[in-house]
Structure 1
Amino acid sequence: MAKIALVQTNPIIGAFERNLRQVLQWIDKAREARCDLVIFPELTLSGSPPYDFLERSSFLETHDRVLAELIQTLEGVTCIVGVPERRQGPGKPLYNSALVLERNKIVFHARKQLLASNCVCEEARYFEPGTTPTIFPFQKMYYGLTLGEDILPESRSGRVHPLAGLAVEPVMPDVLINIAASPYYFGKLKAYQDTFSQMCRQNNIPLLYVNQIGAQDGLVFDGHSMVMTAGGVLHQIGAGYAEDMLIVDSDEIDTTSVPFVEETVTQVYKALVLGVRDYSRKTGLTKAVLGLSGGIDSAVAAVIACHALGPENVLCVALPSPYTSPQSVEDAEKLAEIAGCDFEVINISAAMEAYRLGLAACFTGYPEDTTEQNIQSRIRGNLLMALSNKFNRLLLTASNRSELAMGYCTLYGDMCGGLAVIADVPKTLVYTLAHFINKESERIPEQIILRPPTAELKPNQYDQDDLPPYDVLDAVLQAYLEEGKGVEEIAALGFDTSLVRDIIRRVKTNAYKRQQAPPCIRITTRCAAPGWRYPLAHGFVE
């Protein structure tokens, strides 16, 4: 029987020569292990998702040239790779395909049938769906070959399941293969383990699932490739958030098992670290700067940045105003000291006074309001952007999902930056992350976690003066944004109807801010940006 390698790679989109070298290195390792078949993730050489690069002829030509190089190197091993495959005729010009490469040629292909259509990927924009399942013979066994969503339940897609077509094929497969570039979200690991287990049991077929790892813009691909037995038992699972190769004998899949991997906040933390690390590495911005307020959001973001990039590559900056308590600066400095990163203090009082004098004539007769508060935030954003520009550092922002939903953030102020580290992390989960970070030792000063959240833009200001309690807010946002519930349904859960209406109103009113936010690392099923799509000008009231 066949010895099979499942390889989860971390490509860089469009870095074809680099991606080819990576694939060839893994093929060499598989050869050394005497593997007969090597399986790679979806869109192996191009990386995923390439978006509108798929509409550039030069991108596709380079891909095809590198693919031809790969095919010519295959001696003594069969390989499955994911590719954008050109097609003729009406419809889209490409298929999202998996190719079986053997003896220096393409011997079989499978075309993705259920194209991803969600807040982060619109495959139907580029690809024509396939229409038939693919079953190919290899070393006295038959293998069904699928891509991505093709093996998810009908209830997830609302369409006919491609596996239903296997029942009418002349030969039923002995093993099912799925190559994927499936991004992470909190809860995905449990959902996929449960889904694959049920599918294998119902169809009495083992599964080889190969997933990409790495981050691309705000998407994090978690790896966790799996070998599942026909009885729905997990036989092997690949590393999370790291390249890895699983080796399995096709006739030994049912012989041993490993426990399901538990879904915990650890997965969220690792996803955020990988998101920052790969965004930095793949854009070439290997150093970072962020404002450190002494609050929990920037503290969590700073720890993640130091873990991802190394503390020697992170600059934390406190930017106190007359409203900033000495405790905030002390806590910020202590966190930076524990982390081992550079720390600077830039007092913004003089800049605030300059703005006050410059606007005095225009503002005469008008009381101070959020305008003056926002100026403080924009001064900080401007100074941090200056440091980013001068020293070629990636500016990281620390707004959380709850605040971004409600617009409790300042456009061109604390929203300034190149990457929003925790913008898809609800505030309640931020606290969970902070406790997780401190599990082994105090990396975030306890005072930062315990103090009431405050923007410190005016005297005696606290978040809860302008927002509902975060446990209430996050529960309502979860019901509305993730579960699609309406006002009455949410109120029936025990929340005040007027409060629910106000939260929903603010979510829609502040869509213009989210449209201008930097990319954020996605950890939920519906990412804050671009996952929530509301018209900026509308008259709809719920």
Structure 2
Amino acid sequence: MRILRVAMAQMNPTVGDIAGNSRAIKRWIKEARKAKADVVAFPELAVTGYPPEDLLLKPRFVADNLRALDDIAKACIGVLAVVGHVGQGPAANGTFRQSVVAAGQHELTNAAALIGERGVLCRYSKWLLPNYGVFDESRYFHPGRTLPIITLRGATVGLTVCEDIWFPDGPTRLQAAAGADVIININASPFQIGKSRIREQMLATRARENGVIVTYTNTVGGQDELVFDGNSLVLDQTGAVVARAKSFQEDFLVADLNVDAVARHRMVQRRTKALSAKQAGAVERMTVRLPAAPKRTFVVSALEPLWDELDEVYAALVLGVRDYVRKNGFKKAVIGLSGGIDSAITAAIAVDALGADNVLGLFMPSPYTSQESGEDVAELARRLGIACDTIAITAMFDVYRHALSTAFAGRPVDVTEENLQARIRGNLLMAYSNKFGHLVLTTGNKSEMSVGYATLYGDMAGGFAVIKDVPKTMVYELSHLRNAAGKSPVIPKRVLDRAPTAELRPNQKDEDSLPPYPVLDPILKAYVEEDRSLEEIVAMGFDRAVAARVIGLVDRSEYKRRQAPIGIKITHRAFGKDRRMPITSGYRIS
């Protein structure tokens, strides 16, 4: 029986930390050797981290990445490795990407190298370069046009990178037609709600329709607004999942691939399409010899369960906070606690990410802050085990109003005075950040960010927006989930039950200014995430005037969002790279 043992290193690289990433890769190679693997696969751009963005414009960065690959090869004693890195080929004249990189520089590719102890044996360059949502690969990379086919331990193996496996007529079909039994696909596939199941279904289809074994190695960890969920997979030639790595943490998955089963399956199915002459010309065949296979018993691979969507979202938020704080050199975070649900769930996430000793709350009551809010903040801090300082802002608020009294004489109190309170609080939080080096975690949710129900330089002031992509209705769902997860609830019941309020004027409620969140959130999803028109939203059953008002608020608030801190992406379309609207625009649909 022909068996190929493949290891998959689901690692958490840091963008730009080429030395640190290389050390991690070499550690995993040692683990692969201990596991008696024939080949170990690492994620897409594992050497540089993903996405490296405009670091790719620095020739030294590219050169450092290539030198690191040569160094990694020295660790490949008795085992092969498939390593994602930035490739560099002959210059291509007259292209946009060439001008972006720098005149005279070689073209760059998003590459997977098969390496052994003597160096790079072959290199596959990604064919299909995503240029949508958070992806800008066409800005930096040239597409590959060759198909390496490697014979190893009697198995025929094809290499692909991420997007290449998503399309039915892409490189996977061509490699299968060229005789590949196994496709080793390396990835940096970001998390969004529901994607793990969609991805798994796609991979099952690709394995089944081509009659190949697919190994799918994904990265894990947080990188700015992106979170990578892991969930690396092995699927057999029928599309069945035979191995699955952990979610949202590093993992090392080993699988024995039965290559003879692929041959038997193909004899029965007989579905393989022949390559055209042009496609056949792209195939590059090579045979790689390894030492005689060591004695080893058959591996029973791990098959971790898929998580429920809400559990995935919470885990993504925790991992996103942990890695943003850790990778940017912070140790502690400070959060403005108001007694409301948004700051409560943000604090819970921060504690789960960083530990209670590394989270500080700051309660800043104004003349309009209720006694209940103070009690709820104290109870939340007690349950989470965090320290919480209190600084009343009434005296500071009075100083501002006195200073502006002459200029504002004769004008009624309005949102100006509300925003003053928010900005005083923002200043205090940033003062704590400056003095103690803590990262300020902002607490605004996606519903508020969408319609501009937030104050520039006030509650929007900070370094990282934890729930920026979480709609208000989901904030409540996550809060109930977190309360059910521990031995006892951490978010007080009254916080969950009280009507949302900013407490910036007497008896204020969010619904004084906005539609109820169960109405608002579906309209926002339709307009922001699905690009539906006013007519389409009305056809969904929403009141025309309400929908038109919401759309208008979204369109007029772009200038605020452009100045907001980055936050963790969890939906199909988050604010930021996913949705790039002009601030100055005369186009209106309402």
Quickly name the TM-score band, shorter chain normalised.
over 0.9
Choose the corresponding residue for 1:228, options 235, 248, 259: 235
* Partner residue in 1 for 2:286: none
Could you tell me which runs of 5 or more consecutive residues in structure 1 were left unpaired when the two chains were aligned.
Answer: 155-159
Residues 512 and 536, structure 1, Cα contact 8 Å, conserved in 2? yes
Q: Distance in 2 between matches of 1:176 and 1:41?
A: 14
Which secondary structure does the structure 2 equivalent of 1:530 belong to?
A: coil
Q: Does 1:290 align with 2:335?
A: yes
Q: CA deviation at 1:166?
A: 3.5
Q: CA deviation at 1:172?
A: 2.0
Say if 2:242 is the partner of 1:240: no
Aligned to 1:100: 114
Q: Does structure 2 retain, via aligned residues, the 8 Å contact 1:316–1:336?
A: yes
Per-residue displacement from partner, 1:391-422 (whole Å, max 9, x unpaired)?
Answer: 00000001000110000000000001100000
Of the three residues 131, 137, 157, the one matched with 2:151 is 137
Of residues 480, 504, 507, the one that matches 2:554 is: 507
* Residue 89 of structure 1: how far off its partner (Å): 2.4
Q: SS of the residue aligned with 2:258?
A: coil
- The equivalent of 1:33 in structure 2 is 35
SS of structure 1 residue aligned to 2:74: helix
Q: 2:265 maps to which residue? A: none
What is the deviation of 1:295? 0.3
Q: Residues 403 and 110 (structure 1 numbering): CA distance in 2 closer, same or farther, change over 3 Å?
A: same
Task: Name the structure 1 match of 2:543.
Answer: 496
**How far apart, in 2, do the equivalents of 1:421 and 1:199 lie?**
35
- Give the letter for the 2:170 counterpart: H
Residue deviations 1:121-158, cap 9 Å, x none?
2011110111243322211111121111111146xxxx
Confirm or deny that 1:461 pairs with 2:475.
Answer: no
Alpha-carbon shift at residue 313 of structure 1 (Å): 0.6
Matching residue of 2:392: 347
Partner of 1:528: 575
- Which stretch has the larger CA shift, 329-338 or 493-502? 493-502
| Residue among 48, 51, 55 paired with 1:49 | 51
Question: Out of 10, 13, 16, which is 1:11 matched to?
Answer: 13
Partner residue, 1:111: 125
Q: Distance in 2 between matches of 1:40 and 1:68?
A: 15
* Structure-1 residue corresponding to 2:102: none
Amino acid at match of 1:163: T
Would the alpha carbon gap of residues 508 and 162 (structure 1) be closer, same or farther in structure 2, given more than 3 Å must change? farther
Q: Find the aligned partners of 1:466 and 1:19 in 2 and give their Cα distance.
A: 49
2:224 corresponds to which of 202, 217, 222 = 217
Distance 2:506 2:579 in 1: 34
Preserved contact between residue 205 and residue 239 of structure 2 (Cα < 8 Å)? yes
Give the whole-Å Cα distance in 2 for the aligned partners of 1:262 and 1:389.
Answer: 39
Deviation (angstroms), 1:230 = 1.4
1:482, 1:152 → 2: CA distance?
A: 22
- Residue 208 of structure 2: aligned partner: 201
In the TM superposition, residue 264 of structure 1 has moved relative to its aligned partner by 2.3
Distance 1:383 1:103 in 2: 56
Q: Is the 8 A contact 1:75 1:104 kept in 2?
A: no
Contact between 2:255 and 2:301, CA under 8 Å: does it hold in 1?
Answer: no
Could you list the runs of 5+ residues in structure 2 that have no partner in the other structure?
Answer: 98-106, 263-299
- Give the deviation of 1:489 after TM superposition: 1.1
User: Aligned partners of 1:332, 1:197: CA distance in 2, in Å?
Assistant: 48
Alpha carbons 2:562, 2:576 under 8 Å: kept? yes
Deviations 1:413-438 (A, max 9, x none): 00011000000001111010000001
8 A Cα contact 2:8 2:42, kept in partner: yes
Q: Which of 469, 473, 496 is equivalent to 1:449?
A: 496
RMSD, aligned CA? 1.6
Question: Measured at CA, do residues 372 and 429 of structure 1 come closer, stay the same or move farther in structure 2, by a change above 3 Å?
Answer: same
Answer yes or no: is the 8 Å Cα contact 2:362–2:391 preserved in 1: yes
* Contact 1:234–1:260, Cα closer than 8 Å, also in 2: no
Percent identity over paired residues = 44
| Structure 1 Cα separation of the partners of residues 235 and 75 of structure 2 | 31
Aligned pairs for 1:64-213 (under 5 A) are 64-90=66-92, 91=95, 92=97, 93-153=107-167, 161-166=170-175, 171-213=178-220
Computing the radius of gyration from Cα coordinates, the structure with the larger value is: 2
- What is the distance in 2 between the residues matched to 1:250 and 1:228? 10
CA contact (8 A) 1:187 1:263 kept: no
Q: Is the 8 A contact 1:212 1:223 kept in 2?
A: yes
User: Deviations 1:225-276 (Å, cap 9, x if unpaired)?
Assistant: 0011111111111111111111011118999895861432110111000000
1:275-424 → structure 2 map (5 Å cutoff): 275-424=320-469
Q: Deviations over 1:494-513 (max 9, x none)?
A: 01122212111111110011
TM-score by length of 2: 0.88
Number of residue pairs the alignment of both structures matches: 535
Query: Secondary structure at 1:438's aligned position in 2?
Result: helix
CA distance in 1: counterparts of 2:74 and 2:503, whole angstroms: 63
Letter in 2 for 1:227: V
Please name the residue that 2:316 is paired with: 271
CA contact (8 A) 1:289 1:394 kept: yes
Letter in 1 for 2:387: D
CA change 1:259–1:74 in 2 (3 A) is: closer
Judge conservation of contact 1:378–1:414 (CA < 8 Å) in 2.
yes
Which residue type is aligned with residue 379 of structure 1?
A: I
Listed one character per residue, the Cα deviations across residues 31-50 of structure 1 (whole Å, up to 9, x for unaligned) are 11111111100111111111
Q: Decide whether aligned partners of structure 1 residues 216 and 259 sit closer, same or farther in structure 2, where only a CA change above 3 A counts.
A: closer
Q: TM-score, normalised by structure 1?
A: 0.96
Report the alpha carbon displacement of residue 362 of structure 1 after superposing the two structures with TM.
0.6
Does the 8 Å CA contact 1:189/1:263 hold for their aligned counterparts?
Answer: no
Q: Distance in 1 between matches of 2:577 and 2:125?
A: 28
Q: Distance in 1 between matches of 2:510 and 2:43?
A: 44
CA distance in 1 between counterparts of 2:355 and 2:550 reads: 39
Residue equivalent to 1:157: none
